[in-house]
Structure 1
Amino acid sequence: MHAKPTSTQIRARVALAAAVASIALWIGSAFVPAVLWAAVVGIAVEPLRLRLLRLLPHRHALVAGLITLAVVAVVVVPLVIAITRAVTEVDGIAGWINGARAHGVPVAAWVANLPVGSAQLSAWWTSHLSTPAGAAEQFARLDMGTVIQRSKSVGHNIVERAVVFAFTVLTLFFIIRDHDAIGAQFARAIDRAFGAAGLRIGRQITLSVRGTVDGVVLLGMAQGVFMATIYAFAQVPHPILLGLLSGVGAMVPFGLIAVMLIALVLLVVKGAVVAAIVVGLVGGTMSFVVDHTAKPALIGGATKLPFVWVLIGIIGGVETIGLLGLFVGPAVMAVLILIWREWVADDAAPIPTLSDAGPRKPS
């Protein structure tokens, strides 16, 4: 029979556990984002996992493999399309620059259609770009050494992100396969450490992450499809690529507007000013409505998180820790609001206000 640990032993165990956990986080710090991403996706696809398990009972590994492959396809296929298009565009731009250096660049037809500054821009263009000498001088200002250096940096970042993505996929498979066991262990640990309040906080985090995925990822994909359709009708160059970029941009605050501005510039360059106005009005209205109605409803609805806290969580999270902050930020805000509401809950005697305070009569 083991003796009950003393308070000194308990404190020593806690200190040892904290030290080991800190060292483990330090060693694996490079993979913490991958684990967090896998946890976010695992929480988001939990309803799908349960549906598949009803169709394939006791086939946890198969269900995990199917969901993981689906997630990989959703991420990789658009990425491959975007990279392919980008490589094609880079080749076209390089050929255009070589032609401009050899023959100059005639003043574009859309310059004459500008409502303001047409004459000034036309004069500058004629002096600096129309002749081969002027065009060669302007394009010679491009620092090719800097471009090459940045290209190497981009290549290094791509390799690093690919490694992290591969580890995320691997972690996601095991999280989905062993979801029940992992969830039970976390619930037991939280209950032992924090009691019922900790379990409520865990549930709030889960609801917030799932609501954020619905409000950010799914709505972003829908906005991307909608904008690709609008771009195609307006005859914007490369509507599919811009639609993909719009879908990704819609997940980030003001990202969709930035992509849409590129499309508007392309339309103005073509001389389609009316089409640019229509795309700007339709896209801007859709973005405003989604960002101020549908997105806050999906993110804050499940957790009853006010819109202003949803906005702070999203923008502050992205600014602080990048794209992962889209999901971590609202979850942190949801937990903060839950703690505050429980702290000020009216479950005891009425709390006196400042107006009730006054000089006490001597007893």
Structure 2
Amino acid sequence: MHATTTLAQVRARVALAAVVALAALWIGSAFVPAILWAGVVGIAVEPLRLRMLRRWPGHDMLIAGLITLAVVAIVVVPLVIAVTRALIEVEGITHWINDARAHGVPVAAWVANLPVGSTQVSAWWTNHLATPEGAAEQIARLDMGTIIEKSKSVGHNIVERAVVFAFTVLMLFFIVRDHDAISAQLSRAIDRAFGDAGIRIGRQINLSVRGTVDGVVLLGLAQGVVMAVIYAFAGVPHPILLGLLSGVGAMVPFGLIAVMLIALALLVIQGAIVTAMVVGVVGGVMSFVVDHTAKPALIGGATKLPFVWVLIGIIGGVETIGLLGLFVGPAVMAALVLIWREWVAGDAVGMASGTSAAISHLGQ
């Protein structure tokens, strides 16, 4: 014989559940970004998982492992290239500093090619860098203590992000392997808590994340490849590294422009001013077209999200929570727009007119 549950007991259970949930969130708060990242990647690779599952039915463990390894390779390989290149550059800078202290730094050839201020820059260089004493004095002005402290901070951040990345990879494996069970449980929980409106919002968020991955990551990588080719033809130093940075920068608002300005500065230093202008125009036009046509079409097309909301979601998300905001921001905006549309079209938040009318009928 089952005892009757009183209203006080229901409220107590809800309060207990809320306390337990908040305690769990507090304890695991350091891993929330990793879980969100794993969820974003899991949503993005779902079409690939289904395609592989049709080819190899019943091999969920193998498919999860292959997808996880592919994601790790996509992240780690470019990172290794960038770190290797950076270490080489650091070694070169160290040799340059030692040589400057011993022999001074002759006026660079590119100074004569500057369109403005060539005489002034040459005079300053001769007085402050051309002799060993002047170069040593300028180098001594660098705040080495601050540089060391910054290096320690960077090292700490690298270790912290490495731990988050490792946990993200672990979570991604289980999310991909148990995708069907997780989706079924989430759908059941959302349906019990919010009904059909919650299911529609969840579907909207899912579509938004997938569209953002296509519109931000894939287009960003494509832009990076194109810019690497342009840099190579233009004679920019380290075209592969700058192309990689351009691809990453293209995922962030105005990031590609910032990397491209570095490439243009390197061309100007070499005296290739006309080439720098051509690269700037081509890269700027490509960035403008992609940011104002292709990205909004891919991100907003799947969810019918207006361009202005896509832009607010991306920029606001990055400003608020960093790179993760690229995907979370548009998803939140997509859910907000859906709630607004249903509220305007119906009699209650999250209810279409027909649903609201049906509920009213049942209550009579």
1: CA distance, partners of 2:332 / 2:241:
34
Counterpart of 1:205 in structure 2 is: 205
Shift of 1:60: 0.6
Structure 1 window deviating more from structure 2 (207-216 vs 122-131): it is: 122-131
1: CA distance, partners of 2:237 / 2:134:
28
Counterpart of 1:20 in structure 2 is: 20
1: CA distance, partners of 2:204 / 2:353:
24
Counterpart of 1:8 in structure 2 is: 8
Counterpart of 1:161 in structure 2 is: 161
**Normalization by structure 1: what TM-score?**
0.94
2: CA distance, partners of 1:345 / 1:52:
40
Report the AA paired with residue 40 of structure 1: V
1: CA distance, partners of 2:61 / 2:160:
28
2: CA distance, partners of 1:161 / 1:199:
33
2: CA distance, partners of 1:244 / 1:335:
33
1:116-166 alpha-carbon deviations (Å, 9 max, x no partner): 111211111111111111111111111222222221221111111111111
2: CA distance, partners of 1:97 / 1:261:
25
User: Which SS does the other structure have where 1:344 is aligned?
Assistant: helix
2: CA distance, partners of 1:60 / 1:34:
22
2: CA distance, partners of 1:303 / 1:8:
42
Shift of 1:3: 3.1
CA contact (8 A) 2:114 2:269 kept: no
Counterpart of 1:63 in structure 2 is: 63
2: CA distance, partners of 1:326 / 1:56:
33
Counterpart of 1:75 in structure 2 is: 75
2: CA distance, partners of 1:141 / 1:4:
79
Counterpart of 2:119 in structure 1 is: 119
Counterpart of 1:314 in structure 2 is: 314
Report the AA paired with residue 327 of structure 1: F
Counterpart of 1:218 in structure 2 is: 218
Counterpart of 1:39 in structure 2 is: 39
1:152-206 alpha-carbon deviations (Å, 9 max, x no partner): 2211111111111110000000000000000000000000000000000000000
2: CA distance, partners of 1:120 / 1:171:
58
Counterpart of 1:302 in structure 2 is: 302
2: CA distance, partners of 1:42 / 1:231:
34
Report the AA paired with residue 219 of structure 1: L
2: CA distance, partners of 1:57 / 1:160:
38
1:208-258 alpha-carbon deviations (Å, 9 max, x no partner): 000000000000100000000000001100000001100000011111111
2: CA distance, partners of 1:192 / 1:20:
19
2: CA distance, partners of 1:40 / 1:262:
31
Shift of 1:348: 5.9
2: CA distance, partners of 1:101 / 1:240:
32
Counterpart of 1:281 in structure 2 is: 281
CA contact (8 A) 2:313 2:329 kept: yes
2: CA distance, partners of 1:165 / 1:114:
44
Superposed CA RMSD: 1.2
User: Which SS does the other structure have where 1:302 is aligned?
Assistant: helix
**Normalization by structure 2: what TM-score?**
0.94
CA contact (8 A) 2:208 2:330 kept: yes
Report the AA paired with residue 233 of structure 2: F
Counterpart of 1:180 in structure 2 is: 180
Structure 1 window deviating more from structure 2 (290-299 vs 115-124): it is: 115-124
Shift of 1:10: 1.1
CA contact (8 A) 2:228 2:244 kept: yes
Report the AA paired with residue 267 of structure 2: L
1: CA distance, partners of 2:134 / 2:315:
44
1: CA distance, partners of 2:276 / 2:296:
29
Aligned residues: 349
Aligned in 2, Cα 1:329/1:114: closer, same or farther, shift over 3 Å? same
Counterpart of 1:354 in structure 2 is: none
1: CA distance, partners of 2:112 / 2:66:
56
Aligned in 2, Cα 1:247/1:277: closer, same or farther, shift over 3 Å? same
Counterpart of 2:98 in structure 1 is: 98
Shift of 1:58: 0.9
1: CA distance, partners of 2:2 / 2:112:
90
User: Which SS does the other structure have where 2:57 is aligned?
Assistant: coil
User: Which SS does the other structure have where 2:253 is aligned?
Assistant: coil
Report the AA paired with residue 38 of structure 1: A
Counterpart of 1:270 in structure 2 is: 270
Counterpart of 2:171 in structure 1 is: 171
Counterpart of 1:30 in structure 2 is: 30
2: CA distance, partners of 1:188 / 1:3:
26
Shift of 1:4: 3.8
2: CA distance, partners of 1:194 / 1:5:
22
Report the AA paired with residue 78 of structure 1: P
1: CA distance, partners of 2:96 / 2:284:
32
The unaligned stretches of length 5 or more in structure 1 are 350-363
1:84-130 alpha-carbon deviations (Å, 9 max, x no partner): 00000000011111111211111122212222111211111111111
Shift of 1:2: 2.0
